[in-house]
Amino acid sequence: MTRRPSREGADSASDAPAATSAGTPGAGEPIGRHLGRGGGHRALRLTAILMASVLVAAVAFVAVQVFRLQSNVVTMPLNLADGQESALPVDSSTDPLQILILGTDTRTGNSGEFFGNEEDSSGEGNSDVMMLMTLSADRENVTVVSFPRDLLVPLPSCVNPDTGEASQAMDLGQLNGALGEGGPGCTVAAINNLTGLSVDHFMMADFNAVKELSSTLGGVEVCVDEPVDDEYSGLSLPAGTSEVEGDQALAFLRTRHSFGDGGDTGRIAAQQSFMASMARKVRAEGTLTNLPKLYAIADTVTRNLTVDEGLSQPRELLKIADRMKNVDLGNIAFVTVPTEQWVEDPNRLVLDEDGAAPLFDALREDRGLTEESPEPAAPATPSGPATPEAPALDPAAVPVLVVNATADADRAAEVRQLLAGAGYTQSSPFESAPAETSQILFGTGYDGAAADLAARFGIPGQQVIFSDAVVGIELVVGADLATGTKVTVPPLGSDLEGQTAEQVTCQASSGL
């Protein structure tokens, strides 16, 4: 393409008076004006040089950062199952993407009082956390499915990347043990068999990753309904909302005794709540569009992460971050794969195939779990001492303390009117500190009333909790019930347990 002469060059050629043979300015042209033009040219050249230098420095900085991140990454094979093919290459920017996230119980890099030391474990250990993250092709939905560590599934024969030896296939083996048989690729193969998917990537982190990442983020907000002092994990939290990082963040994610039923179900709920809170914080602070913050996180992650070859380039991680930056928090769903107790050992779980089938169908068909609003499921029956052959419920005989944990001073009165309309005439108000999530606490003999009120107000079963310190019912009205007659709960499917990143949840104490 022919370069057009600049306007300034054209003017100079046609309008400037001719110079004398001695090189002096032409008659009638002020000397100062001539010198001013030359100085302007030099200034422009200097500015251009400075701008070019800044650009070169910026490019060099990015190149150094990418090289440094690249040098951090440790890789392992994606799929080591005998006879099972790995996923075909995908475009991380546009294709549906499945990434298996593994948290291991290896103590490498750890010296915490409650978690043991490096010599306490060897190899890859077992996978304490197994979450399958699916990013939809349209960038509208993210689904994170948790798999309990005690889940029994068919395990394929896998080639150990360190020894070259093949493990024995099992009709039924504990899912978290696949990691020790053939590394993360073996867990990927087991998930593929279970779901009918072809997982594209994996990310595996150890204890140190959680501690460092939570500190890099400046802490992550968590909530517990009662004070926690867990001698097993070292978790120590007051009732209400706290920010945790380092060892306390790790303890919150690993405790098996503090929440829910004292087993893996409660721990998974806490992990999902933690990740939802982390997503809200990252979004609120604009981290995914702030290059220095993003590099700080990427540096922390890559120093503590083992990935497959396809994710070994830092630009692939940045592509994934770019895909997630605009996903609505209400469309980021955390769910637990449906399971049931194994008939031969109630301490182990097996897949609830009927319940899991619609979930796996949605993942294979690239459908988000919050796209449609199914009919709401009836709240789970609250746990706690039930009265055998309890008489028919008489709402007028049930004392209800309405705990107003909203910012609206009139909300307790509004809820009491709703209760009176349902026959609960023995209610009294109580003002409390703000809470995001509504709960029902019930005493002995009031489980029927608790279930009835949970159904009326749409409060999920996991937020209906027995307490021997309560006489009657305590209805905690949180921000999710600040208006209307039912709590605001985005749909996750009628048979799925979990939450969205938009929801703020408070973990119920196990009482252990």
Give 200-259 as a DSSP string: -EEEEE-HHHHHHHHHHTT-EEEEESS-EE-TTT--EE-SEEEEE-THHHHHHHH-SSSB
Single-letter code of the amino acid located at 28: G
Mean pLDDT, the chain, integer: 78
State how beta strands 439-442 and 305-307 pair: unpaired
What is the reported pLDDT for 21? 41
Q: Quote the CA–CA distance of 86 and 192 in Å, as a whole number.
A: 10
pLDDT higher than 90, residue 135: yes
State how beta strands 473-477 and 305-307 pair: unpaired
> Which ranges of 304-436 does DSSP label H, i.e. alpha helix?
314-324, 353-364, 411-421
Q: Quote the CA–CA distance of 14 and 283 in Å, as a whole number.
A: 58
Query: How confident is the model over 297-323, as a mean pLDDT?
Result: 80
Give the pLDDT band (50/70/90) at residue 480: confident
pLDDT higher than 80, residue 49: no
Higher pLDDT, 218 or 314: 218
Higher pLDDT, 45 or 62: 45
Contact 442, 473 (CB under 8 A): yes
Give the pLDDT band (50/70/90) at residue 488: low
Give the pLDDT band (50/70/90) at residue 306: confident
Q: Which of 324, 358, 370, 339 is nearest to 489 (CA)?
A: 370
Q: Which of 173, 188, 152 is nearest to 80 (CA)?
A: 188
Sequence spans of domains, the chain: 74-364, 395-488
Helices (H) and strands (E) in the chain, counts: 12, 21
pLDDT higher than 80, residue 130: yes
Name the least confident of 18-22, 229-233, 410-414, 445-449: 18-22
pLDDT tens by residue, 83-101: 666 666 788 888 899 999 9
pLDDT higher than 50, residue 210: yes
Single-letter code of the amino acid located at 189: A
pLDDT higher than 70, residue 436: yes
Q: Is the pTM of this model over 0.75?
A: no
Q: In b/e form, how buried is each residue of 423-440, taking b as 16+ CB within 10 angstroms? A: ebeebeeeeeeebbbbbb
Name the least confident of 149-153, 295-299, 486-490: 486-490
Give the pLDDT band (50/70/90) at residue 59: very low
What is the reported pLDDT for 293? 77
Q: Quote the CA–CA distance of 393 and 375 in Å, as a whole number.
A: 26
Higher pLDDT, 92 or 423: 423
What is the reported pLDDT for 221? 93
R_g over Cα of the chain: 30
Q: Quote the CA–CA distance of 21 and 423 in Å, as a whole number.
A: 110
Contact 174, 363 (CB under 8 A): no
Name the least confident of 312-316, 342-346, 443-447: 312-316
pLDDT tens by residue, 345-389: 988 999 999 889 889 988 998 988 875 443 344 444 454 554 444
What is the reported pLDDT for 83? 66
What is the reported pLDDT for 404? 96
Name, in order, each residue with C-beta under 8 angstroms of 7's C-beta and a sequence gap of 6 or more: none
Name the least confident of 202-206, 235-239, 306-310, 386-390: 386-390
How many alpha carbons lie under 13 Å from residue 246 in its C-beta half-sphere?
6
Query: How confident is the model over 240-250, as a mean pLDDT?
Result: 92
How many alpha carbons lie under 13 Å from residue 120 in its C-beta half-sphere?
15
Q: What does CATH list as the number for 395-488? A: 3.30.70.2390
pLDDT higher than 70, residue 39: no
260-265 long-range CB contacts below 8 Å, 24 or more apart?
260/462, 260/507, 260/508, 260/510, 261/383, 261/510, 262/510, 262/512, 263/150, 264/148, 264/149, 264/150, 264/349, 265/148, 265/336
- The tokens 């009082």 sit on which residue? 113
CA angle (356, 360, 364) in 5-degree steps: 170
Fold of 74-364: Aminopeptidase (3.40.630)
What is the reported pLDDT for 175? 93
Share of the chain above pLDDT 70, in %: 74
What is the reported pLDDT for 208? 81
pLDDT higher than 50, residue 213: yes
What is the reported pLDDT for 264? 81
Share of the chain above pLDDT 90, in %: 36
Q: Quote the CA–CA distance of 53 and 61 in Å, as a whole number.
A: 12
Q: Quote the CA–CA distance of 455 and 445 in Å, as a whole number.
A: 18
End-to-end CA distance of the chain: 78
